[in-house]
Amino acid sequence: MMRVLHVCSEIFPLLKTGGLADVTAALPPELDKEGCDVRMLVPGFPEFKHGIFDQHLVAELPAKFGARSVKLMFGKMPDTGIPVYYIDAPDLYDRQGNPYNDQNGQPYADNHLRFALLGWCAARIVEGFDWFWKPDIVHGHDWHAGLAFAYIKALEWNSGQRAVGTVFTVHNMAYQGNFPAYVFSELDLPFSMLNPDGIEFYGQVSFLKAGFYYADKVTTVSPTYAKEIQHGEQSCGLEGIVQFRSNDLVGILNGVDTSQWNPKKDSNIEASYSVRSMTGKKKCRLALQKEMGLDLQADKPVFCVISRFASQKGLNLVVEGMNAIIANGGQAVIMGNGERWLEEQFENFARDYPGQIAVRIGYDEMRAHRIFAGSDVVMVPSRYEPCGLVQMYGSLYGTLPLVHRVGGLADTVTDCTLENLAEDKATGFSFDQFDVRAFESAVLRAFALYGKPSKWRKVQKRGMLQSFGWSHSAEQYVSLYKQIKIR
């Protein structure tokens, strides 16, 4: 049985700031079904300390990186029972604010130390600090886990032999964990690693680059994104190292947890429904309109946005193109938060068009389910999108995705062209040019198709029948693990 250690900073339902938490919650249980012995390693944020059950001490570790007390604890995740190590280091992790930023929204000044400790502890587990379990594979997620691969490589340099197979998954190239070069002296790594053939990145220390450089294999969360990051804007300045590792770069599409996202079984929505009977979706639509204060109408589509309000998400196109929805009698439900100017723009639309536009600032998981179930079109016009889960949730709920054709959006949505409609391949609407004219054209095509109920239902059902579960992705990861496992 292959032993796999996942290293990450958040796991749903205990701690979630984005899609990463959904992935780290769903993938390990699926790997378990594939016969892997999976464990996880996370920082000891309060949400983990209070949410993990059956806890016990594994090891007392030396004071490190400004933490006077460091303990490696062990327990299990609620619901799935997946085993989890967490690092109990109150000096670094017991803080107000979210895991990465203080109460003013500013990154913690010692984030380099907080996540260096996460990587360092991964190397200690590889080294055998848990007498009863050592991994065959260490699989780290995003920049927070990037330094784990540097510490493991340093361990291997000291011993003169490979210690473990390693996989680094990049969920978003834009978030790199870059810090001033002077912090390198605090990281307890060989000085030879601070160079362009290592973790140095234009005079900075880059946790993301450490993962790219030192892991055996690098994955991205969709095949198209794996191609996009090798050049141009999507590489975020790292095209050199990405191209250098291109032979070891693999795109594996994320899945969704269909035990949580399934309109046939979802207890969060007004009425259940399925491909065979869509009556419940009509009830969900009516319930959503009532909940959000919208006019009760059924002859025009309800559009929705469930997103972080960030420039990456392309919501400026929604702001600029909202009049196309309003002028044609459509409705829109917007939920999320982030950049204040976007919050204000959406709030202005809700104030000016109270029967057509509804806005909720903030994120509510249960309301998200209700919005997916009650809407007709989910808009995901991202400037770039490594994978995206929202469009998959939409498809499974019979809510047609409207997307910019990039990254995972290109891999999961087939446009409603005449040819694709005729061949029963269409699952949504997509546009190529990142501008408001292209976005509005896709919106108008959604209105046109909605006016043809039989064709609309055909596309709905095609989307709902897609297989977005984790089983195929888990099989691909297991195959990758086998390639690098030390015999």
Whole-number Å distance between alpha carbons of 294 and 290: 6
Query: How far is CA 335 from its chain centroid?
Result: 17
Whole-number Å distance between alpha carbons of 82 and 26: 10
DSSP at 354: T
Q: Is 362 exposed, middle or buried (0-12, 13-18, 19+ CB in 10 A)?
A: exposed
Dihedrals φ, ψ of 360, to 5°? Answer: -125, 115
DSSP at 389: S
Q: 80 and 28 in contact (C-beta within 8 Å)?
A: yes
Whole-number Å distance between alpha carbons of 59 and 79: 26
Alpha helix positions (H), 128-188: 147-159
Q: How many CA within 13 A on the CB side of residue 408?
A: 22
DSSP at 222: S
The residue whose two tokens read 């969704």 is 256
Q: 199 and 149 in contact (C-beta within 8 Å)?
A: no
Q: Is 153 annotated as a binding residue?
A: no
Q: What is the DSSP string of 395-462?
A: HHTT-EEEEES-HHHHHH--B--HHHHHTT---BEEESS-SHHHHHHHHHHHHHHHTSHHHHHHHHHH
Specify the length of the chain in residues.
487
Whole-number Å distance between alpha carbons of 115 and 144: 6
Annotated binding site for ADP-alpha-D-glucose: 16
Annotated binding site: 16
